[in-house]
Amino acid sequence: MKENFKALDGIRGLTALYVMIHHARLALTQSYQNGLSIHPEKYAWYDKLMVYAFSSFKFGHEAVIIFFVLSGFVIHLKQSDKNYNFEHFNVFTYFKKRVIRIYPTLIVSFILVIILDYFAWLFTQTNFQEIFSKYSYNSFFFNLFLIPDATIWGYNFPVWSLKHEWFFYILYPFLLWLAKRHYVLALLIIIGLYTSYAFGFSIPYIGTAAYTLTVWSLGCVLAGIYKNMNSMKWISYLLLLCFVYPFINKSNSYYPLSDAIFGLIVVGSLSIIIAYKNSPVNGFLKKFAWLGAFSYSIYLLHAPFLNFYQTLILNYRQSHALPYHLWFVLLSIMVTIPIIYLIYYFTERIALNYNRKI
């Protein structure tokens, strides 16, 4: 079974790297609108080429949707059988494994943002209060318990999606139990939460997680179809929604709808990858399974490093303007990935090995 889904590990790793590059572009170089479009004279031909090449990394939000669908697929594939049998589902073991999976790296991220902010202050001698004003006890505890609509503690904004994941994990046992008794009731709860947010009602402490639950649930649906039919080639027709998505995704106000549509596109794509296990694409993705092993660490730990680099660069340049080239983007990735791997080796890897023994 694990061999069959190595391609999904590759997708997870490449997606985490994609998000990191997306954020590195935003943190360490001028945007196209503020850079090349109005100051082309500041770019050599190879810098212009890099700007256009890296413009393909602007879909960071869509990458997170891929994570949500993958997560729903993997969780439901492991935790339920094709009849939604709850008899073999141990709630205590389920949450124990989720805590062990999530919290070691999360705690490291809390420590990391403080350490890097301290060194940023030490190297730049900027105002101490200015750097550490984003920390508070309330924010810390809200983030420690992964409350979805809590403000970010420190400079580690990717945590927002982890809060959503935790909300999904909490609801999943209840929805699985409900689906065994009456599938429609579980579906109505998911649709109800989605609709409430789509029509402007934000539920306290849940916020946008009310509608992203639908995206995560699409992964569960994909797992259910896989278990029942073991043939998902027909779901590939969902890829036709690719033609609709650009028209829907024109404004932030369309996020609930555009994310749901993109989630369906991801489901269609994954169905092809899973169905055609011996395809060249599948083989290519399997080569990046090693990257998927520490994709969670890449995703959760890269932002504090990028913020640290940005502080140093702006201080060195004695300016509030970011560079007009992308060499710092490349350098930051090459420096940070090995550091994150070392952190993974002594934290997340140990937690994963312990989870396998449970």
- Cα dihedral value 336, 337, 340, 346, nearest 10: -140
Q: What is the residue whose two structure tokens read 């992203």?
A: 212
Q: What is the mean pLDDT of residues 10-22?
A: 98
Containing structural domain, residue 255: 3-357
Q: By 3-state DSSP, what share of the chain in percent is helix, strand and coil, each rounded to 5? A: 75, 0, 25
Q: How many domains does the chain have?
A: 1
Look up residue 299 and give its DSSP letter: H
pLDDT (tens digit per residue) in 275-299? 888 899 999 999 999 999 999 999 9
Q: What percent of the chain has pLDDT over 70?
A: 93
CB 25 within 8 A of CB 309: no
Among residues 71, 88, 68, 73, which one has the least CA distance to residue 180? 88
CB 148 within 8 A of CB 56: no
Q: Is the pLDDT of residue 252 over 60?
A: no
Q: Which residues, at least 6 apart from 111, have a Cβ–Cβ distance to it below 8 Å? A: none
> pLDDT band at 134, cuts 50/70/90?
confident
Query: What gap in Å lies between CA 262 and CA 179, rounded to an integer?
Result: 25
Look up residue 203 and give its DSSP letter: P
> pLDDT band at 35, cuts 50/70/90?
very high
pTM: 0.94
Among 88-97, 150-159, 298-307, the range with the most confident prediction by mean pLDDT is 298-307
Query: What gap in Å lies between CA 200 and CA 190, rounded to an integer?
Result: 16
Among residues 106, 104, 101, 89, which one has the least CA distance to residue 172? 89
Number of other CB atoms surrounding residue 144 within 10 Å: 14
Q: What percent of the chain has pLDDT over 90?
A: 70
Q: What is the mean pLDDT of residues 225-242?
A: 84
Query: What gap in Å lies between CA 66 and CA 266, rounded to an integer?
Result: 6
Write b or e for each residue in 307-337: b if 16 or more Cβ atoms lie within 10 A of its Cβ, otherwise e: bbbbbebbeeeeeeebbbbbebbeebbeebb
Q: What pLDDT, on a 0 to 100 scale, did the predictor assign at position 169?
A: 97
pLDDT (tens digit per residue) in 56-109? 999 999 999 999 999 999 999 887 654 555 566 788 999 999 999 999 999 999
Among residues 54, 11, 28, which one has the least CA distance to residue 336? 28
Q: Which residues, at least 6 apart from 164, have a Cβ–Cβ distance to it below 8 Å? A: 68, 148, 208, 209, 212, 213, 216
Q: What pLDDT, on a 0 to 100 scale, did the predictor assign at position 242?
A: 93
Q: What pLDDT, on a 0 to 100 scale, did the predictor assign at position 125?
A: 75
Write b or e for each residue in 85-102: b if 16 or more Cβ atoms lie within 10 A of its Cβ, otherwise e: ebeebeeeebeebbeebb
Query: What gap in Å lies between CA 127 and CA 171, rounded to an integer?
Result: 43
